[in-house]
Each structure stands twice: as structure tokens, then as C-alpha cells.
């Protein structure tokens, strides 16, 4: 479909979708032949009930794969399986993540999920992602246990560690109908391990190159017939791979579950993270090119400091009132405290052959998010057809204070090959500059109607109404702004044969023009950007679940970008547009006993359709250019082979195509291929000795950056770990 024709379509929500969501439904009639009530809803508090063997209990040669037949919360609030969901949904098992040596959430997503790449840098918390042609925290949302984390000044720092993750759920494509504004590209949901009625204890220790040391322990068990717990603690330290690159972090996750009655349960949890990442902001380019001799140089100041502290409290309750009705409520609080003191911009100067450092920046973020989510799931019939419906509301209050030393003055010149670090320059002084309070509420509903045993219709609708109040503490000014947005989607799934499903979906979405809770005064008068997607695809599970594959094609258009008025270069207007269209495929296959391959790839065409910026006092159109930070070719491949009863070898390849550093497409970051490998030996049934090599061929590559400097990825390194269950 031509972009112009697609962009002009602005249909309202189809009547069928509204009926699915809003219709009053009656209970199953007692005398109907197909009126057997559905099985009782799960009594656990986790938003997803995994049937069959738990992911962490899967035998080594039969990894969970794509988990097409396992319910998840990433793509629906109805606990549908990926086969039942008219969208692109993946589930990455925690056991798979740990076996591949992926200690961060970013690594786990970008090395396993289809079409996701990292833009991680210290300024965004190391967690920014890109998918389906859209990049950054304003378009790719991150969740923890199904709850969205609001983005302050482009930064999200929690969760980061994978030791406590039961699984990571990934949804590609617009998800505003589920989680609100800021998810036109996709969503990543980290689901932590929670209390269990089984005894599970495990521990891990490891050492590696660059002075790396790791240790972790996890324990979960019942205390009595009604009380159970789960506790996970992990810590990592390293000297880093650049000069003065010391880093360390600590993650603690604990939960207690009370099964008060067979129908009612409450879970109280607390998660804490403390990070001091490598204080590295990039490597300057020499005459526009990367000099490998600078790979391990650190251009930051000697007294630089980066630290993130996050604390997450949550109280979840679930009550199965009957076979037909289940109520859930989640109350939560997140506090984040972040600090940066760095010199962050580096540019080589041809005249003196030196690197100019500027933007001596000190910033504090103090953020507190308090919220509550309630929903009710009702299973019934509609005109004799099986129907499932969920409806509820979200409430959030977010307070954000930004302290800094703006206008970030100071500069210095250093030798590119032997940079003298010097000390931090603070010309303006650090003080509180702005404070905001955001109050948000949303109403949502989702419905699945089984028209026939093979055909189901899935629809959803959500209305968001955030209000942002912001105070400029330096200027003594303030503003208040109300936003309103309604998102919806409608789709169909047709099961051609058991385990083989075709689907189609139309979805709308909204993105903020900046981060909502830190919206600048210059952005307050603009509305939310809007988007829409058409997607079709096919999914299949074969060989009794040992093989799974998916294929999807989509077209997304995003409107109302901020752009320069072509006739008035000093004026910003909200008329811009960008789009992407692409194809994604994935395959997970157990070839024979002890051998498995997992392969995925994405091809897309991402473009600015209407986008202009002011350059040198005149308006320059970038229509036809590729959005910054968006690769148009990506692929992942993993293979494992249990070649002896107690031995297993695995290898992974990650390919990321070239990306552009700016909207003008004047700076290109080359494509790269990274190879990882591992060897496991199991001396006993409950212990494993693992040797892992990362970036085996020592590829030099950039994951983020601008036209003058690049943030480089990890060079070749190795680790030896010992883990055990007891």
C-alpha cells in the first residue's frame, strides 16, 4: 500500500471493536450444549500463568523456544498465548538468558528478540532501544511486572539485572491500547521470579577478564500451607574495558505471598537496584573516522561520577470470585535517584590535532511514581459465543525534580592518544532547576470473542488523561497542561490447523513529543503525536512444540512530529510525519535430541516523510532520510549442541545494520556482527561449570553516539562461572 494512501486513512474505531469491548454479556446459559463454564482462573498473583513445564525446569536440549502456546501478559491483559494474540509477541525464558551469559536486560533483549537493537548510553541509563523504525524511551516502552515506568528526561534505569527475571516478554508494534502513550515501536516487560510452592535454591559465582567478578543467590520455598517467599540477590564488579572504567552494581528482589484462601491471594514485593556503571561517554572520531588506538581511552574527567538507585515496592491481590469473574489490583511505588557528573561531548579539532571536551554536566534526578491498577476479567457468552472481557483503570502520580548546572559551560583540550583527565569544571553551579507533578488516569477494556472454534476477534480500547504541572525554579514560572488520548486496536486470529494461526490487526497509538513528566515549556503547547499500524502474520507450533516459527509484515505511520516551518525557520510546527514498513521472521527448532537452533531477522524501510530542521538560519528538509539510530537490517542466531551427556556447547551471532547518527544522515555508524560462544560442563545433576566468550572475534563497533564521537560496544572478553541448585 503506498505510504501516501495509507497516511491519509484515519478511520474511527470499527463498530465490531466497540461491541466487543462495551457489550453487556450474560453468563453461560445452564441449558446450552456448549455452556460448559471455563476452567477456574489461576490463583497465583502473577499476571501470567504458565502452563506445562516451567521455563527454568526445561531440559537442556529442549529450551522453551518462542513459547507460542504459553500465556503471557506482554501482548494482552487476557493472558492469551502468542498464538491467540493478533500481534507479534515473544517470550524469552530466564533460563535461556542466564545460559547465554546475558547479565543485563538490554543484552537479553537485543541478542534474542526479533528486530530490537540497543542505543544504550550513560545519558539514557544504558537502556534505550529501537525497533520497527522507532527509537528511544519515548517510543519503546519498558515495563516491570506489567507496570510501565515513566521516563524522566530520557532516562530509565530499572530494571537492569537478569538474575531475578523469570522471563522477558516482548511486544513489537504499537501498544498504547495496553499501556498508554509512548509505545508506538514496542514494549519490553521484565517479569520477575515470584514465590513458589516448590523448593528452589540456586547460586552462582564467576570471574572474568577486566577484573570481572559476579555472585548471585536465589531462594524460594513455601513457609507453610499458606505462606511462601522468593529472594534473589546479585552483584557484579569489573575494572571495565576503558581506562578508569570501574563499575559495580547490586540487585535485590524479594517477595512474600499469602494464599489466604483457595480463591484469594496477596503478594508483597520489594526490588532494589544500585548501579555505578562505567563512566564512559564515548570515543571521539579522528577526521570523521574511528581510530582503533583510542578504543580503550576514557575521555571523562578524573572525578566523574554516575550512580543510579531505584527502589520498587508492590502489593498485588487477586480474588477469583467465581469461575466467571476474577478481580486483580496492583498498588506500587517506584523511587529513582540518579546522579551524573561528567564531561560528555568530545570533538577532534583538525587545527591542533587535539580533542575538545565540552558540556561539563552535573545532573540529579529525583523521581517518585505512585500508582494503582485495577481490572476485572469476566468470562461469559455473547449471542451463544464464548467471550472473555477485561476492564479496569490505571492511576499514577509522578513527581520529578531536575537539579543541574545548566547552561553546562566549560571546555578543555586533550591529547587524543594520551588524554589527561583533569577535574570537573562547574561554572554555573548546581542547583534545583525544575520540578513537575504528573497526575494520570486511564480507563481500558479488552475483549476476545470466539466466533467459531477456529476464528476469534480481539479488540481493545483505552483512554488516557494525564495532567502535567511544571515549575521552572530558576525563572519562577510555571505551567499546567492537560492531555487526552484514545487508543484502540482490533484484530482477528484464524486457526487453520491445530498450532497454525493466521492473524491481522489494525492498531492506533500515541507518543509524547518529549518525555511527558519532564516536558519543556517549549513543548507544552503541542499535542501528543499519533500513530497507526496495519499488521498481518502467521505463527505455527510444530513437532509437539519442539519447533515454532513466525512471520509478520507491518506498516506504521506516525504523525504530528515537531518540525521547522519551511517558511519560517525560527518557528516550530507539529506537522511532521515518519513511517516504516517491514518484514520479521523467527524460527526455533529442536533438530534432534540435544541440538537446537534459534534464528530471527528483520528487514524494514524507515523514513521521514515530512520533517524539516533549521540549519544555519534556513529550513532544510530531511524527507526521505532514515531516522537516527534506526538500523534497517538486524538478525540473531543461536545454536546449542549437547554433544556428550554432561557437555553442551552454544554459539550466538548478532548482526546489526548501519545506522545514522543524525536526521541529516551525515554521520554513519557501520554495521557490525558480534559472535558469542559458551561451553557448559555439568559435574553433577545440580551444578554447572560454564566458560563463555563474548565478542569472540573482537569486533570494534558502535551502539550509540553522534557525528563527532561514538559509544563503543564491549571488546572481546571471557568469563568462567560455577552455578548450582540445592
CA angle 88, 96, 545 (to 5 degrees): 60
Contact by Cβ (8 Å): 442, 464:
yes
Omega before residue 159 within 30° of 0, cis = yes
- Residue 219 exposed, middle or buried by CB count within 10 Å (0-12, 13-18, 19+): middle
Residue 625 and residue 610: Cα distance in Å, rounded? 10
Residue 632 and residue 622: Cα distance in Å, rounded? 18
Residue 127 and residue 166: Cα distance in Å, rounded? 19
Omega before residue 407 within 30° of 0, cis = yes
Is residue 722 helix, strand or coil? strand
Q: Report residue 16: phi and psi, to 5°.
A: -60, -40
Is residue 490 helix, strand or coil? strand
Domain boundaries, the chain: 3-725
Strands of 186-192's sheet in order across = 88-93, 165-172, 186-192, 140-144, 147-148
CATH of domain 3-725: 2.40.170.20
CA atoms within 13 A on the CB side of 711: 21
Q: What is the mean pLDDT of the chain?
A: 90
Is residue 122 helix, strand or coil? helix
- Around Cβ 629, how many Cβ atoms within 10 Å? 22
pLDDT at residue 65 in the model: 65
Contact by Cβ (8 Å): 529, 579:
no
DSSP string, 10-51: -PPPPHHHHHHHH---BPPPTT-TT-PPPPPPP-SSSS----
- Around Cβ 20, how many Cβ atoms within 10 Å? 23
The two counts, helices (H) then strands (E), for the chain are 5, 40
pLDDT at residue 31 in the model: 33
Contact by Cβ (8 Å): 592, 642:
no
Closest CA to 11 of 492, 507, 504, 559: 507
What is this structure's pTM?
A: 0.90
Residue 191 and residue 170: Cα distance in Å, rounded? 11
Residue 492's DSSP bridge partners are 457, 504
Strand 467-472 vs strand 455-464: parallel, antiparallel, or unpaired? unpaired
Instruction: Report, as ranges of residue numbers, the positions in the chain whose pLDDT lies below 70.
Output: 1-65
Closest CA to 432 of 475, 395, 381: 475
Amino acid at each position: 500500500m503506498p505510504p501516501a494512501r495509507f497516511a491519509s486513512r484515519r478511520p474511527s474505531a470499527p463498530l465490531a471493536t466497540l461491541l466487543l469491548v462495551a457489550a453487556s454479556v450474560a453468563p453461560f446459559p445452564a441449558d446450552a450444549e456448549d455452556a460448559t463454564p471455563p476452567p477456574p482462573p489461576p490463583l497465583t498473583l502473577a499476571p501470567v500463568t504458565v502452563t506445562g513445564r516451567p521455563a527454568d525446569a526445561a531440559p537442556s536440549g529442549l529450551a522453551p523456544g518462542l513459547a507460542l502456546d504459553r500465556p503471557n501478559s506482554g501482548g494482552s491483559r487476557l493472558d492469551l498465548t502468542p498464538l491467540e494474540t493478533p500481534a507479534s509477541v515473544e517470550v524469552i525464558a530466564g533460563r535461556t538468558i542466564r545460559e547465554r551469559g546475558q547479565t543485563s536486560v538490554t543484552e537479553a533483549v537485543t541478542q534474542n528478540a526479533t528486530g530490537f537493537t540497543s542505543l544504550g548510553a550513560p545519558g539514557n541509563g544504558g537502556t534505550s532501544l529501537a525497533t520497527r523504525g522507532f527509537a528511544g524511551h519515548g517510543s519503546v516502552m519498558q515495563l516491570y511486572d506489567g507496570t510501565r515506568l515513566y521516563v524522566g528526561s530520557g532516562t530509565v534505569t530499572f530494571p537492569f539485572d537478569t538474575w531475578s527475571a523469570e522471563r522477558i516478554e516482548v511486544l513489537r508494534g504499537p501498544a498504547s491500547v495496553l499501556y498508554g502513550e509512548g509505545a508506538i515501536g514496542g514494549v519490553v516487560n521484565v517479569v520477575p521470579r515470584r514465590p513458589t510452592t516448590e523448593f528452589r535454591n540456586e547460586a552462582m559465582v564467576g570471574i572474568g577478564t577486566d577484573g570481572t567478578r559476579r555472585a548471585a543467590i536465589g531462594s524460594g520455598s513455601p513457609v507453610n500451607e499458606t505462606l511462601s517467599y522468593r529472594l534473589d540477590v546479585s552483584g557484579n564488579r569489573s575494572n571495565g574495558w576503558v581506562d578508569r572504567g570501574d563499575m559495580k552494581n547490586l540487585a535485590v528482589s524479594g517477595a512474600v505471598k499469602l494464599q489466604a484462601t483457595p480463591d484469594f491471594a496477596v503478594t508483597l514485593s520489594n526490588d532494589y537496584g544500585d548501579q555505578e556503571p562505567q563512566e564512559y561517554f564515548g570515543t571521539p572520531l579522528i577526521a570523521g573516522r574511528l581510530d582503533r588506538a583510542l578504543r580503550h581511552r576514557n575521555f571523562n574527567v578524573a572525578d566523574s561520577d554516575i550512580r543510579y538507585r531505584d527502589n520498587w515496592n508492590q502489593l498485588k491481590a487477586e480474588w477469583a470470585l467465581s469461575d466467571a469473574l476474577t478481580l486483580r489490583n496492583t498498588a506500587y511505588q517506584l523511587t529513582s535517584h540518579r546522579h551524573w557528573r561528567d564531561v560528555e561531548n568530545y570533538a577532534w579539532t583538525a587545527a591542533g590535532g587535539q580533542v575538545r571536551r565540552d558540556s561539563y554536566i552535573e545532573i540529579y534526578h529525583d523521581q517518585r511514581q505512585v500508582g494503582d491498577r485495577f481490572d476485572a476479567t469476566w468470562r461469559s457468552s455473547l449471542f451463544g459465543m464464548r467471550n472473555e472481557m477485561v476492564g479496569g483503570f490505571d492511576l499514577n502520580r509522578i513527581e520529578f525534580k531536575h537539579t543541574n548546572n545548566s547552561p553546562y559551560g566549560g571546555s578543555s583540550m586533550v591529547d587524543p592518544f594520551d588524554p589527561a583527565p583533569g577535574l570537573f569544571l562547574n561554572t554555573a553551579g548546581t542547583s534545583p532547576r525544575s520540578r513537575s507533578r504528573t497526575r494520570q488516569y486511564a480507563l481500558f477494556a479488552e475483549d476476545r470473542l470466539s466466533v467459531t472454534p477456529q476464528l476469534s476477534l480481539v479488540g481493545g480500547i483505552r483512554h488516557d488523561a494525564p495532567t502535567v504541572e511544571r515549575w521552572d525554579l530558576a525563572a519562577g514560572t510555571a505551567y499546567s497542561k492537560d492531555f487526552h488520548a484514545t487508543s484502540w486496536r482490533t484484530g482477528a486470529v484464524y486457526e487453520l490447523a491445530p498450532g497454525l494461526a493466521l492473524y491481522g490487526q489494525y492498531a492506533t497509538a500515541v507518543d509524547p513529543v518529549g518525555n511527558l513528566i519532564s516536558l519543556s515549556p517549549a513543548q507544552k503547547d503541542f499535542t501528543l503525536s499519533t500513530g497507526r499500524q496495519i499488521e498481518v502474520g502467521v505463527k505455527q507450533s510444530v513437532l509437539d512444540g519442539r519447533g515454532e516459527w513466525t512471520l509478520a509484515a507491518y506498516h506504521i505511520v506516525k504523525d504530528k512530529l515537531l518540525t521547522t516551518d519551511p517558511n519560517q525557520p525560527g518557528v516550530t510546527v507539529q506537522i511532521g510525519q515518519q513511517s516504516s514498513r517491514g518484514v520479521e521472521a523467527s524460527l526455533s527448532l529442536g533438530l534432534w535430541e540435544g541440538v537446537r537452533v534459534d534464528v530471527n531477522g528483520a528487514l524494514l524501510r524507515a523514513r521521514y516523510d515530512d520533517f524539516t530542521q533549521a540549519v544555519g538560519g534556513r529550513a532544510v528538509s530531511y524527507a526521505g532520510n532514515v531516522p537516527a539510530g534506526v538500523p534497517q537490517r538486524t538478525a540473531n542466531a543461536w545454536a546449542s549442541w549437547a554433544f556428550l551427556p554432561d557437555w553442551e556447547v552454544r554459539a550466538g551471532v548478532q548482526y546489526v545494520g548501519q545506522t545514522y547518527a543524525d536526521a541529516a544522515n551525515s554521520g554513519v555508524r557501520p554495521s557490525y556482527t558480534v559472535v558469542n560462544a559458551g561451553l557448559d560442563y555439568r559435574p553433577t545433576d545440580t551444578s554447572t561449570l560454564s566458560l563463555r566468550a563474548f565478542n569472540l572475534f573482537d569486533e570494534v563497533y558502535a551502539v550509540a553516539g553522534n557525528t563527532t564521537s561514538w559509544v563503543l560496544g564491549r571488546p572481546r572478553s571471557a568469563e568462567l562461572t560455577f552455578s548450582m541448585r540445592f
